[in-house]
Amino acid sequence: MNKYTLIGHPLGHSMSPMIHEGLFKLKGKNCPYDLTDITPENLSSKADFLRSLSGFNITIPHKVAVIDLIDEMAESAERYNSVNCVANKDGKLIGYNTDCDGFLLSVNSKNMPIDGNVLLIGCGGVGRMIAVETVRHGGKLTVAHIPEALEMAESLKSEILAKYPSAVIKTIDISKISGNFDMLINASPVGMYPKSDNCPVSDEIISDCGCVFDVVYNPVETLLVKKFREQGKTALGGTAMLVYQAVKAHEIWNGDFYTDDEVNSIIKSVEEKIRSDFR
- The helix, strand and coil proportions of the chain, stated in percent and rounded to the nearest 5, come to 45, 20, 35
Strand partners, 213: 185, 236
268 catalytic residue (yes or no): no
Q: CA 240 to CA 260: how far, in whole Å?
A: 11
H or E stretch at 241? helix 239-254
H or E stretch at 171? strand 168-173
279 Cβ contact partners less than 8 Å away, ≥ 6 residues apart: none
Q: CA 176 to CA 160: how far, in whole Å?
A: 22
CA distances from 261 to 91, 109, 213 (A): 34, 12, 20
The catalytic residue among 29, 46, 63, 273 is 63
Q: CA 235 to CA 232: how far, in whole Å?
A: 9
User: What DSSP designation does 257 have?
Assistant: -
Question: Phi/psi of residue 141, each to 5°?
Answer: -105, 130
Question: Phi/psi of residue 33, each to 5°?
Answer: -135, 120
> Which residues are annotated as catalytic?
63
